[in-house]
Amino acid sequence: MTEHRPTTPTGLTLGIFLLVMMAFMGTTAYAVALYRMSANQPLRNTAYESDWICAPGAPSHAGYFRKRFDLTSEVKHAWVKIVAADAYEISVNRNPMGRIYLWRPTRPFQTGTSEKGQVLQPNNPAMALNFPREYQWDGHDTWRLPSYIELTSSFQVGKNVITIETESRSAPARVSFVGEIQLYNGKVIPLRSDESWSSEPAIPGPQLLDWTELGYWDKEWRHAKICDGPADSGYRSHPEEIYREPFRGNWMRHPKASNKASVSYAADWMVDRPIDEAWIRLMTNRNYELQINGELVRVASIKPPDLDNGEWVFGRASAFDPSAKPELLDPDEVGSNFVGTRFESPRKGHRNLGEFRNPYSPALTPFRYIRTYNRAQAPGEWDPKRTLAESRRTPETPDLFPERPRPNALKHDTSVGGYLSYSIANLLQPGMNRVEVFCLDKSNAIWPTQIAVDGGALADDGTRIDFVDNERWRTHCDREIEVYDGANGEVPVRVLGPVLSSGKAAPKMQYRGNALSPQQLDILLPQAVFQVSIITLIGVFIVVLGSLIVGRSIQEDETPVWQSTCQMIYAMLLTATVTIGCGLLLESSWAERHESLWTLRGEHWKVVFPFAIFASLLVGLLDIIGRSGFAGLRKKGHSVFDVLRDLPKTKLWFHLCLWVLLLGVFLRAYKLDLQPLDDDEYASAQAVMAILETGSPGFVPDDVYYTRSPLYHYATAAIAWPFGGNLWSLRLQSVMWSIGTAWLAYLAGARLLQNRWVGFVTMVLICVHPFEIFTGHVIRFYQMQQFFALLTVYLFCRGFVTEQSQGYRVATLIAFLCAVVSQEISVAMGPSLLFGYLMFAKDLGWKNNFTLVLVSASVVALIGLDFVVFQNLCLTRTEGVSPSIEAAVKPHFWYPMNMLSMLFGYSRLHVVVSFFFVAGLPLIWREQNRNALALLAFLISGIVMTNLLVTNVSFRYLYWLIPIWLLLSVDSVRLVISTLVSIVYPVSEHLNRHASTLAVCFFVCFVAIIASWSPWRIPGSYELRILGDSTGAVRWVRSQKRAGDRVAITEPHTHCAYMEGGKCDYDLALPLLYDFAVMRDGKLVDRNGGGEVLSNVDQLVAEFADGERIWVLLNREKFRTRGKNMRWEYPGARFEMFVRKNCELKYRTYLWSVYLWDPSRGHFQPFRLQE
């Protein structure tokens, strides 16, 4: 192919060249600045210094570990570094000290950790979870980042016990930890994970004591087992010395300041060498502001502000929330003594709970006020703010009165003291550093302001610089506050003595996080801009010089050498800019996943930068080849353009498409039976099995039918009928619909968008999309709905937009009917179809129009019939009022931000793709491809209509739009790259160079999109439980159940108990949702499994009193309680507490606990039934 003389104006060429050079330098400089910032990031390597252990016996999804310690002296300092695969909770003497709870993989990395200051990305998720369908991902690698926990305040002299509970999606649940307990007598007790720990996969019992208590009988527990761990090292985000070393500071005060004064403290800290890490720890009894070198110490934390918030308070105080007063229950006023923590006798309290004042406390006397003030001037202790209620125990008080009991609910510690620590390496400078603490005034203070500080730094050469000397501290009092001797100037502090000494305990330290350095990027970015500009100019000069020397000898066309050189440099810089820009997008996309460990350390730039260099050099090489005399290859049809154009016409293309579809089948069908069914799957599976047995989708109770999505359930039953209705036959049909959707997306790209490459890439993306993989094998109607929705849009474009064919129009309506009766919310497509008809359709004559009206009326009638049957047969009469929690077709405007959910996706899955989609929208409009505009209209109207017509909408209800969105996004990538390349390589003049540059840049974007979906997390997902394992829990009960045993399971999993266990006796419904229950023989029973509804503790107690064994299966995701402490703000907490106290935990699997009530072995905690 002969290239024509270019017509691009010279001035425009130079201007465009300069613009792309500036874009390259700006993007690259920003990326380089981020990479250099990663050198100052807090992550450091840390070795796991002890073995990994798990519970003995067969591999289990949970493990319990206990060990007793006899302490001969008070504890000076105690800490532990703990890491688990996947989750843990550690307690000391029954007090939970730290945890990481196990959540869904779509939640942000480190969700559920108690150590908020150690969270790497303390930001709210870009898209909140709302009934998500999961991705085909394994869990976050929480074992890469151990937690450091301070334990000092939890120990006592004498006997102590440490307990650890672990949980994992894949068996066995493993844990590794190391730490130590330092005593005041000099003895150090190591804490290590080894075989000396007692361990069991489930808690033997029941016992009157909780398994975390010291007196719990564990003589029959076995020893922990050493096992292989996922890694021998990980990362830490803060200096280890913060936790490893005891606090060394002394209490300091202003010598004469009043109790109400605001006081500042300042000291200088000499740092005479470059440092790697630095930290500071602070104890105080006032709100304060901490500044270093004039910079306020601020941290990025998801935890609300603490004492370091200064005068500004946002959110609620953590000590006491007046809007949520404790509920005080009196056993004389309820039907059971099981009322949790209650008043001790006498059980009466003051009506004004918000004051936290004992109603029996005597009036304040002058003598007591003076004595309290004198005590305030005594040498400092940790707890300086002694309340009057505590001082009344002193016998010297003239108004003596006997000790009176106070309700436990009123025994809150209202002091404002705290122990906080920070990592401050970003704020320290070489030379002298100024450390200032500004303690704010408090009008009702009865104790003077005092602080204690220690800190340190580790230099790059390993030496240490301590910051403990109290002589360097000076203090200053606010002049507006009265000072008794008038000492308002800066004076030396008054040292009261060490904070830590025998008999004085400090509270648990709170690590707040790494101090932010706002100037860091401001400093590095200009430097990077300057350096990148110099390197770019040098590189351009070398390329220009080389091109001028050799260009005349190799160039065959008539384009001036300098202009060809500018075009080549433009293409190279464009390719590098696109590659580096994709790296920036990947950093944003991974922010909520454990891949953020790579971005924080700058690891991805070590791949992106070389890849950008390679891609740009490849484009330059192809440019040289394109103008250097390979005319023979072009004449034979072997040019880049010819290869890309003709490849879809070859047999190789057919094999490529076939292998991509086979990859999609493999990713969906591999270990298809490993994943447990979720509650929605059981509903559909139960309906399908009922159709196979009786011909109608009936449930256990009489006259209860699941008529929703009739096409899906009857089609699935027909497909499963020859194979007996097993799990493979039920799930494989979803795989079939999913692969059909991928192939249909290819056809849409090839025929509607007139580009087979767009269709092929879209098909690949659908096959490897984590959301598509997971949903593509579940027993639910979403995949069939997606297929028919895409088929409806495809046929609409063929019948109403381009070919204007009557046959396609009728087929469109039939496909729309199939989409609605496969999932009723597809009716949201109706307005889109009507809008598309008005915008694109042509008049085919009254006969065709009349036929179309008749077909449309028939479709509407059938859809109406489906809704009538659903309303009258599927929805039963409710016996009470329930909150609206199920999706329904109803106009509303509840969640407008859900309009953007497709652009983000859970875990920012769609950030990279959406960037190109949004960038390409103007180009789609400019191209005026009617099919592309129709697809865009369907996408936008589908999102809007689904959010306006479907209540409680979540991302899964937009699942049917993903193929359309991917088609438009891939086409947007093509348009954006093609437009940028065409600026200097017009298709009519430089076809081959245009095609080669477009192919390289398109491939870079394709790799970035795939990488943003974390495909390396897909293989590991086939070895673990992605959803809660209700199937495993019920099957285990079935293997252990005796004749006459009963089964109680949490709603809505009664159909699981019925299908897997053959019977469901009780439905644990807390709170009671009448939508899922029907009245039969005077009792509320569950709609699915027919179990009797138990909605409160008294009903469960009555069933226990019958004397039969009862298996109680609790879904911890439903009851919300993941660890030891109950979540009393959620319904069912009191119910679960009763089960824990009176039943024996027999089995644990992912998110499910199996308890057994056995009258021959169990006991009742004190309670009384109503007469």
Going from N- to C-terminal start, the domains of the chain cover: 45-237, 247-319+416-499, 643-669+707-876+894-982, 1030-1157
- 939-951, pLDDT tens digit by residue? 999 998 888 887 7
CA distances from 846 to 806, 843, 850 (A): 12, 8, 6
CA distances from 893 to 832, 899, 1138 (A): 18, 11, 41
976-1006 in b/e form (b: 16+ CB < 10 A) is bbbebbbbbbbeebbbbbbbbbbbbbbebbb
Calculate the average pLDDT of the chain.
Answer: 80
Pairing outcome for strands 52-54 and 188-192: unpaired
Distance CA 119, CA 142 (A): 11
Ranking 66-70, 299-303, 653-657, 881-885 by mean pLDDT, the lowest is 881-885
The full 3-state SS of 1097-1113, as one line of letters, equals HHHHHHHHCCCCCEEEE
- 905-914, pLDDT tens digit by residue? 888 999 999 9
pLDDT the model gives residue 194: 93
What is this structure's pTM?
Answer: 0.85
At 939, which amino acid appears? L
- 25 against 1029, higher pLDDT: 1029
Instruction: Give percent above pLDDT 90 in the chain.
Output: 34
pLDDT the model gives residue 1163: 57
Distance CA 1054, CA 1087 (A): 9
Find which of 437-451, 630-644, 1154-1168 is predicted with most confidence, using mean pLDDT: 437-451
| C-alpha angle 1058-1060-1061 in degrees, rounded to nearest 5 | 65
Q: Which of 59, 64, 130 is nearest to 894 (CA)?
A: 130
pLDDT the model gives residue 561: 67
Considering only the top CATH level, what class is 247-319+416-499?
mainly beta
- 520 against 1034, higher pLDDT: 1034
pLDDT the model gives residue 914: 93
Answer whether residue 749 shows pLDDT above 90: yes
Distance CA 413, CA 671 (A): 54
pLDDT the model gives residue 557: 55
Find which of 248-257, 426-435, 767-776 is predicted with most confidence, using mean pLDDT: 767-776
Nearest-Å Rg of the Cα atoms of the chain is 35
Ranking 238-242, 397-401, 568-572, 871-875 by mean pLDDT, the lowest is 397-401
CATH code matching the domain that covers 45-237, chosen among 2.40.37.10, 2.60.120.260, 3.40.50.300, 3.40.1280.10: 2.60.120.260
- 1084-1130, pLDDT tens digit by residue? 898 888 899 998 888 888 888 888 899 999 988 877 777 777 777 77
Confidence of residue 663 (pLDDT cuts 50, 70, 90): very high
